[in-house]
Amino acid sequence: MSISEFAEVIDAFEINLRTERHLSEHTIRAYLGDLESLSAHLTALGIDDISRLELSHIRSWLANMQVKGGARTSLSRRAVSIRLFTKWAHKKGLTPTDAGMQLVTPKPHRTLPEVLDIPSATLAMDALAVRVGEEEDSPKSLRDCAMVEVLYASGARVSELCGLDFESIDYERQTIRVLGKGNKERTIPLGNPAMKALKAWIKDGRPMLATDASANAVFLGTRGKRIDQRTVRTVVYEALSALEGYERMGPHALRHSAATHLLEGGADLRTVQEILGHASLATTQIYTHVSTQRLQQAFKQAHPRA
């Protein structure tokens, strides 16, 4: 099979990712981009047949990416995507061996996530509520307040917030149902402030923006369509930019903060894992390090013999 036909192979692999793996759109785009990059590298090496793909070719491609300044996390993802592809290609009979089977995934450096302290989080939420009053319940201020409250209360991802429909909300139990990574559904509780802000947006703000294109989407853009992730990020950046020391924090900081504050409040690790939708408990455990670090800082500041 020539490299010119590689595009057809990538298309077939994309179908597999969507129908068998049920990966998120963001992950699928990243994996396909990796394959297109590998294809260009093979062409530069003079490899004109996909069946000739070897481990050395993949390693040289990854090394080339690193020389170009690829982040360690990106290199780790590329290794995962290529291993997934070579396994699939070998199973389909496109290659005589699984060239990526022995590929070692570079371990990314784990950095502790930035989180808001509880007073700052409270200040940010209160500021949004004040803005609602100042702007006389404008639909945008009601929406922005509800989105930030829900993100902080639930620890949901931006994509999950954007995907909320009316049937996702259980008013009696004060929960929302979100569709996470791998099309896995989970139910997350909301506190009274978030539920109050959500109800105010749906009752008083959403009708002013709704159009025929709104369908069942909970959160809408200014033109009445389902809100997009870029708009949500902009709203969160603006909300947090007013806080000294948190000017560059975005939506994921709210997710990190929700997890950390839950643990600091006594929630067990398994519960936080379920709320965040982490497949692995190891992913959630990083927040225990954040909590420990914050406890140590508080001890050093407050204890006379620290």
22 included as an active-site residue: no
Active site residue 41: no
State the catalytic residue, choosing from 157, 206, 256, 261. 157
Q: Which residues contact 172 (CB under 8 A, 6 or more apart)?
A: none
State the catalytic residue, choosing from 83, 143, 206, 255: 255
Sign of the CA dihedral 300, 245, 277, 279? negative
Q: Give the phi and the psi of residue 176 in degrees, each rounded to 5.
A: -125, 150
Contact 190, 198 (CB under 8 A): yes
Tell me the CB-side half-sphere exposure of residue 116, using CA atoms within 13 A: 29
**From 77, 78, 206, 278, the catalytic residue:** 278
Catalytic one of 186, 233, 252, 294: 252
Tokens of 161: 């917030």
Active site residue 278: yes
List the Cα angle 189/194/200 in 5-degree steps: 130
Tokens representing 191? 């506190």
Catalytic residue, candidates 181, 186, 226, 233: 181
* Among 236, 257, 298, 260, residue whose Cα is nearest residue 120: 257
Long-range contacts at 5-9 (CB < 8 A, ≥ 24 apart): 5/50, 6/35, 6/39, 6/42, 6/50, 7/39, 9/50, 9/89, 9/94
User: Is 255 a known active-site residue?
Assistant: yes
| In contact, 257 and 121? CB cutoff 8 Å | yes
Q: Which of the residues are catalytic?
A: 157, 181, 252, 255, 278, 287
